[in-house]
Amino acid sequence: LQLTLAVIKPDAVAHPLIMKALHQRILESNFIIVRRKDLKWRRQDSERFYAEHSGRFFYQRLVEFMSSGPMRAYILAREDAIAHWRELMGPTKVYRARYTSPDTIRAQYGLTDTRNTTHGSDSVESAHREIAFFFPEFQIE
Ligand code: ATP
Ligand code: MG
């Protein structure tokens, strides 16, 4: 089994029905929920997590948004968890998602290219790093 980090971003956490739908979607997609945590970032957490994007035109917007309200993080496990979660999320850009993959989470619930509902790790290395970022107490065997 592979682990990935999935995050429900503040735009989606703000809406109880969307939260519920996303939780259901995770269970229906044969993920095992290994850990779950509700948290809120300070601005510096957001800056640190997205350091790789510093300098991009959307960086300030992204950092501001991700520290604007509560989030829910999950450690998910299944075969090919990283790719499966990213497939469920759909393309980063909400309007592209709506056009090309209407069944995906971002197509259905995303608001804008920044406020796009969910995050998912994009590689084994980033999953490792991001799980440690959100769940420092979690030991990966
Ligand atoms: P994530 O890392 O959140 O799972 P991703 O891997 O699909 O998303 P990245 O390129 O890593 O996309 O960008 C990180 C986040 O920055 C995006 O999820 C989105 O919130 C924001 N973002 C990315 N590109 C843009 C853009 N062109 N305009 C506005 N916001 C953007
Ligand atoms: Mg990314």
Active site residue 119: yes
Q: Residue-wise over 36-72: b if at least 16 C-beta within 10 A, else e?
A: eeeeebeeebbbebbeeeeeeeebeebbebbbbeebb
82 lines ligand 1 (CB under 6 A): no
Tell me what the mean pLDDT of segment 6-35 comes to: 97
Catalytic residue among 15, 23, 119, 128: 119
Nearest residue CA, atom 2 of ligand 1? 119
* Position 139 confidence tier, pLDDT thresholds 50, 70, 90: confident
**Six-digit token pair at 60?**
């300030």
- Answer yes or no: is 86 a known binding residue: yes
Looking at the chain, the whole-number percentage of residues with pLDDT higher than 90 is 98
Contact between residue 118 and residue 8 where contact means Cβ atoms under 8 Å apart: yes
Residues present in the chain in total = 141
Is the per-residue pLDDT at 141 higher than 70?
A: no
pLDDT digits (tens, 9 = 90+) for 70-123: 999 999 999 999 999 999 999 999 999 999 999 999 999 999 999 999 999 999
The residues placing their C-beta within 5 Å of ligand 2, an ion, are 122
- Give the domains, in start order, of the chain with CATH numbers: 2-134 (3.30.70.141)
Is the per-residue pLDDT at 140 higher than 80?
A: no
46, 67, 92, 134, best to mutate for ligand 1 pocket (most atoms within 8 Å of CB) = 92
Region of 58 on the Ramachandran plot (φ > 0 left; ψ -120 to 50 alpha; else beta):
alpha
pLDDT digits (tens, 9 = 90+) for 40-52: 999 999 999 999 9
122 burial type by CB count under 10 A (0-12 exposed, 13-18 middle, 19+ buried): middle
CA distance 106 to 113: 9
Question: Cα of 34 to ligand 1 centre, how many Å?
Answer: 25
Is the per-residue pLDDT at 124 higher than 70?
A: yes
| E strand or H helix that includes residue 46 | helix 43-49
Spatial neighbors of 20 by CB under 8 A, at least 6 apart, are none
